[in-house]
Structure 1
């Protein structure tokens, strides 16, 4: 059976343009290696390192933290296969994929929610990459310290120069379309391993090649508290990657076969992400032994190295890695999501420009330095990705039995299978509203990390259950064909 049934659709009007149309056979160039690199790029960032190390603060030992994160990696792997296989078979980006569930116009709701989170994180990741560039510049020319005072809108002149340079590079990458994104991912994914391995070797050498995997950054836990913390870390691992998981169809659509998806996911998630977790914990435990704290980011560790050559190389690698993850995870998604709002007027590239401009307007360095903004805004909106995932999976696999009328994803006709009520599916939107409210409430519960950690699974399960219950009525699927 053919991996994908290509259906001709119009590339004009309110629902389509060339970027949102189904992938052609000639565009299916993302093979196993590319998908492997995609997940490498997704995992290899200063934010990912900070997340893994931050889990030590919950009180687990080094080896317990690694096992808990591995459990989360396995859940992420399972979810990525569900979304990836569906995305590859349909050959459409996430906002178009969501039309079958939320309605041809209702899909803008989950798409814009995902795009909003990505815009903020795009700005934050660009800022984090710029800090590595600043370390590099100051090591090359200490005289540039005069550029670090005064500040404008919270950022000094050197910071603005580094930020805008990386901002421009990323915009240029996206301007050439998804093929250049694939090539950028192929480079950024593997290259960071050189920097991480070099940093791990230097850190281990500095502590006598000996670390304690039984060490912990937080206070010791009781047996019950250990179980709760272990479960929380596992679910937080999934929640951390919830956005990329939801919009994985943006990339899976370019895979030539189901086998490419399964192989790329297997190499990129359980194999690679576990390895990245291990090396992150090793570096942090070495930092704990050397400095008395594991909560030191790699850029600060690199800045402490005596060798100029190592500092320069490591800073370049960290900048490349962060730019890579930013383009893949936080640029592609909102570009498609914004384009989906008005395809006739907004192309993928135009959506990218809008994303880039908004990422400056939100002043990401101020957000990164504001814990309340991270927790209550990004954490709250991010909690909605669990319900979106649950609703999409239940609808595609259980309610529609993997059957989709691709042409109707682009149809404005009231007789279209996914027009529902004026282009909106009430069942999906109600399920998202109720489960989303529950997920946000749980995510923002003060002083309850163990409860906050379950916001993603609760949201996903509740959203999926409500979608199933509210959809137990005749559905217009008679014309839908296997996708």
Structure 2
């Protein structure tokens, strides 16, 4: 039997560990009515529509202030580009990313469901599990890497406090790829992150509101210090002499870097439905996300300016912020420099925490909730991601697996087609019409069951998308020689995957009609199903799949109608 709801926390713990059966009952979610339904998989009720236009703007603006964005200009300048031209390439890549992000968040903002549920309509009631699982695996890996980066900044903070920190005896062998200082920082980062795992996605936007103020101030402080100490920018200091090449080779190098920026944003593009589902109105996610990401150019500019000034002073380019902050302490360990580095390192540690939560922990939590709905919700999933990310010892990935890192760097060719297929399915095939009830119905008669639970059209399109740049991707490992054409196609990997995946899916759906074709004939954006009652419910009065909905039904109908979504809760 399930534990009584009026028990205290201590009594619940005693009940859970009183027997194996009681433990199972204690961890089972009461909201899990089937393998497709629990409290975080159903459409979010109005009380959870908490993200406003400012929330999304603050999120993307704050998210741009991170380690990778700060050092983004390094590879472009290494090609011989001027600072101005490098920033233009980054700006246009982020503008394109922002446009795709807005479109990918549109369905989630209107129907208030996340990526795992949206994927059911496109890939099938069972086919979607593959695309959910691969995103979850990446979330763990990059979550661990971000936790390691956070630990490095915490180590710098401790170095500012304790003069002997840098010279402390390191008993860890060099082959392990980590020092005792960074290991301590990594453990502290893990402990510091734990409280944030208790915050649901509906409330985590407050974190980014704070970050949107703190990080720009820290970046501004660093760039002011660097230019003042150097007596100017000294942009020629980071000009890299390059071997003269043909116009075509130079152009494809630029394209490769443009694609690299798109690739670095690809995880954010796929993840956005898990945030957009909590939008107060669809317009909020459009305005906030369209403006926020392109503003990241300021962080890139600060990184380039700081690096140029520091290289002119010390003769070394510190592109990574943690190398820069350690370099400052190496050059001068005065009370003034320690205070400045302390604030900067604390800000970057906080920024890295936010990046990890938004890009890795939240998506993983949504994915594992989909795969284990009887036992996992968003909060539990966040804790699970943090624990596994800590356990994988991510420094081994960074120091001992260059081939694996190269794979992760080119992984965007697999993500591009996923996004385009889902966009084509929603905007062109379904014409903005999804049947919510069918998204929670795993029977063979379900509209989204397709063939054995898999939409073979989307699978073929997914393969077609990544097959085009695949030869160049294989050649990027250096073990196989590929043609120049294949390498250049890979330089457009994300764009090629996006284009071919979506195009093939559209053609297949035109030739082989999808089930529920009558939905596509409805006016664009009309809700297909008038009842929010889902399979497995015993009562449809005020519930989703038997899950009691907080708030008044009338309020839900009112808020839905204000968005142009016709809902009749019966």
2:271 alignment partner, one of 247, 255, 258: 247
- The answer on whether the counterparts of 1:126 and 1:167 sit within 8 Å (CA) in structure 2 is yes
For 1:232, the equivalent position in structure 2 comes to 256
- SS of structure 1 residue aligned to 2:204: helix
**Contact 2:154/2:188 (CA < 8 Å) preserved in 1?**
no
Tell me how far 1:218 sits from its aligned partner: 5.6
Partner of 2:234: 211
Q: 2:303 aligns with which of 263, 270, 280?
A: 280
Using the alignment, how far apart are the partners of 1:224 and 1:288 within structure 2? 31
Partner residue of 1:471 out of 502, 509, 525 = 509
Structure 2 partner of 1:413? 443
Map Cα deviations across residues 380-417 of structure 1 (whole Å, 9 max, x no partner). 43431111111111111111111111121111122221
How much does 1:351 deviate?
2.0
* Counterpart in the other structure of 1:268: 292
The structural deviation recorded for 1:127 is 0.7
1:184 alignment counterpart: 207
1:150-172 Cα offsets, whole Å, 9 max, x none, are 12754343323221222233232
1:171 aligned partner: 194
Is the deviation greater in 173-182 or in 140-149?
Answer: 140-149
What is the alpha-carbon distance in structure 2 between the residues aligned to residue 128 and residue 184 of structure 1?
A: 19
Aligned to 1:454: 492
Partner of 2:17: none
TM-score, normalization by structure 1:
0.91
Mapped pair 1:143 → 2:164: yes
Q: Which runs of 5+ in 1 are unaligned?
A: 1-9
Partner of 1:3: none
Rg larger in 1 or in 2? 2
Change beyond 3 A, Cα 1:65–1:72: same
Match of 1:383 in 2: 413
CA distance in 2, matches of 1:381, 1:176: 30
Give the Cα–Cα distance (whole angstroms) in 2 for the partners of residues 106 and 336 of structure 1.
17
**Secondary structure in 1 matching 2:197:** helix
2:382 to 348, 352, 358: 352
The corresponding residue for 1:18 is 39
Q: Give 1:303's aligned residue.
A: 326
Paired with 1:112 and 1:182, the residues of 2 have a C-alpha distance of: 25
Q: Is the 8 A contact 2:50 2:203 kept in 1?
A: no
Distance 2:428 2:169 in 1: 56
Residue 454 of structure 1: how far off its partner (Å) = 1.0
Write the distance in 1 (CA, Å) between the matches of 2:464 and 2:194.
Answer: 37
Instruction: Answer yes or no: is the 8 Å Cα contact 1:70–1:234 preserved in 2.
Output: no
DSSP 3-state at the match of 1:245: helix
Verify the 8 A CA contact 1:42 1:329 in the aligned structure 2.
no
- Going from structure 1 to structure 2, the CA distance change for 1:300 and 1:129 (only over 3 Å counts) comes to same
CA contact (8 A) 1:72 1:233 kept: no
Structure 1 residue 464 displacement after superposition: 0.9
Structure ranking higher on relative contact order (CA contacts 8 Å, 6+ apart): 1
> What's the RMSD between the two structures over aligned residues?
2.3
Aligned mates of 2:237, 2:413 — CA distance in 1: 32
Does the CA contact (< 8 Å) of 1:444 and 1:452 recur in 2? no
Contact 1:431 1:467 in 2 (8 A): yes
Gaps of 5+ in 2: 1-30, 479-483, 521-525, 528-564, 566-570
Q: Distance in 1 between matches of 2:469 and 2:373?
A: 31
- Partner secondary structure for residue 240 of structure 2: coil
Q: 1:250-306 deviations in whole A, cap 9, x for unaligned? A: 001111112211220133122x21222222222232234334443531222223334
Instruction: Name the CA shift for 1:320/1:221 in 2 (closer, same or farther; >3 Å).
Output: farther
- Give, in whole Å, the separation in 1 of the partners of 2:61 and 2:400: 28
Alignment partner of 1:331 out of 348, 361, 372: 361
User: In the aligned structure 2, how far is the partner of 1:295 from the partner of 1:385?
Assistant: 31
Instruction: Calculate the TM-score normalised by the size of structure 2.
Output: 0.78
1:80 maps to which residue? 101
Is the 2:430–2:519 contact (alpha carbons within 8 Å) kept by the matching residues of 1?
A: no
Q: Report which stretch shifted further, 153-162 or 428-437.
A: 153-162
Please report how far the alpha carbon of residue 46 of structure 1 lies from its aligned counterpart in structure 2 after TM superposition: 1.0
TM-superposed CA distance for 1:75, in Å, is: 0.7
Q: What is the alpha-carbon distance in structure 2 between the residues aligned to residue 150 and residue 193 of structure 1?
A: 37
8 A contact 2:65–2:215 mirrored in 1: yes
Give the CA deviation at 1:320: 0.6
The aligned length equals: 473
Q: Is the 8 A contact 1:239 1:456 kept in 2?
A: yes
Shift of 1:232: 2.2
Q: 1:51/1:420 Cα in 2 relative to 1: closer, same or farther (>3 Å)?
A: same
